[in-house]
């Protein structure tokens, strides 16, 4: 299965992020799945790709040309798809993905996973959307989605397929149940 993971190119300031992202990558690589990600060698993105590769997995990076021009390309990955801009990058990552995971990240990660959430709620995407709520990172997003339901602006039915998980065993359980 192609698992698209959204996450930051920054390392963050919590050592638990590096540990958890490397565990996720090792699991993806050793379980016969493949990674689709943003293509960078920097920060958490680089840690994820490296750990998938070290575990024998395949990695497809999707990176806009301007990031390559800035030197963020990771030469070790299995395949690199170059896009002209961020919009086409996001579209290609969705096209390639069979499951989607949001690891803790910044505003780019939030934008990317929001598009997946929207497509699931509209019925335009039938794939699990896993929000890796490591140490409560996404508690506010979970509360916001619940708030939308409480205000009758969304529904539990529309949000089927969106999973908030706290650790790797829960991620594996969701994906194995797919």
pLDDT digits (tens, 9 = 90+) for 89-103: 999 999 999 999 999
| Span 5-30, average pLDDT | 97
Domain range for 104: 2-176
DSSP SS3 for 167: coil
List pLDDT tens digits, range 46-66: 999 999 999 999 999 999 999
130: nearest Cα among 69, 96, 173, 92: 173
CA distance linking residue 3 with residue 96, whole number of Å: 8
List pLDDT tens digits, range 126-178: 999 999 999 999 999 999 999 999 999 999 999 999 999 999 999 999 999 86
CA distance linking residue 39 with residue 98, whole number of Å: 18
pLDDT for residue 61: 98
With 90 as the cut, is the pLDDT of residue 87 above it?
yes
Cα 140 to chain center, whole Å? 18
Q: Band the pLDDT of 26: cuts 50, 70, 90.
A: very high
CA distance linking residue 123 with residue 102, whole number of Å: 19
Q: What is the CATH number of the domain that holds 101?
A: 3.40.50.450
CA distance linking residue 49 with residue 35, whole number of Å: 8
With 90 as the cut, is the pLDDT of residue 80 above it?
yes
With 80 as the cut, is the pLDDT of residue 84 above it?
yes
Output DSSP code: residue 50: H
User: In total, how many domains does the chain have?
Assistant: 1
Starting at the earlier edge strand, list the strands of the sheet with 162-165: 79-83, 58-64, 34-37, 2-6, 99-102, 129-132, 162-165
CA distance linking residue 88 with residue 68, whole number of Å: 15
CA distance linking residue 144 with residue 151, whole number of Å: 11
């Amino acid at each position: 299965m192609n698992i698209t993971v959204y996450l930051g190119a920054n390392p963050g300031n919590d050592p638990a992020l590096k540990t958890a992202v490397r565990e996720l990558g090792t699991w993806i690589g050793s379980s016969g799945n493949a990674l689709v990600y943003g293509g960078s060698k920097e920060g958490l993105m680089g840690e994820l790709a490296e750990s998938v590769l070290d575990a024998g997995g395949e990695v497809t990076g999707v990176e806009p040309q301007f990031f390559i021009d800035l030197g963020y390309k990771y030469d070790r990955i299995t395949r690199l798809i170059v896009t002209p801009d961020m919009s086409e990058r996001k579209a290609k990552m969705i096209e390639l993905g069979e499951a989607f995971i949001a690891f803790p990240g910044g505003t780019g990660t939030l934008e990317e996973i929001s598009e997946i959430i929207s497509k699931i709620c509209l019925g335009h995407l039938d794939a699990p959307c896993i929000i890796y709520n490591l140490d409560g990172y996404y508690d506010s997003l979970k509360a916001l989605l619940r708030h939308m339901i409480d205000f009758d602006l969304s529904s539990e039915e529309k949000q089927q397929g969106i999973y908030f998980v706290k650790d790797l065993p829960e991620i594996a359980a969701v994906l194995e149940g797919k």
